[in-house]
């Protein structure tokens, strides 16, 4: 699980910078992680989100 810590977090289709946002993720919301990008910079919750905008929760 991850918890969103940023006010401007969105999912995106590809684990790359400067992608168009798809779904807004409200700050404080929690999401199940289904994968991580190869470089570890993005977590996949059904769409990729910048790992710097979430905290991992056990």
| Res 51 pLDDT > 90 | yes
Residue 58 pLDDT: 85
3-state secondary structure the chain: CEEECCCCEECECCCCCCCCCCCEECCCCEECCCEECCCCCEEECCCEEEHHHEEECC
pLDDT digits over 1-47, tens only? 999 999 999 999 999 999 999 999 999 999 999 999 999 999 999 99
Q: 10 Å Cβ neighbour count for 27?
A: 12
pTM of the model: 0.91
Tell me the HSE value of 35 on the side-chain side, using a 13 A CA sphere. 9
């Amino acid at each position: 699980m991850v918890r969103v810590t940023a006010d401007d977090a969105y999912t995106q289709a590809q684990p790359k910078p400067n992608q168009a946002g798809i779904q807004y993720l409200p700050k404080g919301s929690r999401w199940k992680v289904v994968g991580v990008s190869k470089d570890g910079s993005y977590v996949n919750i059904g769409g990729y989100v910048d790992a710097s905008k979430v905290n991992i929760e056990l």
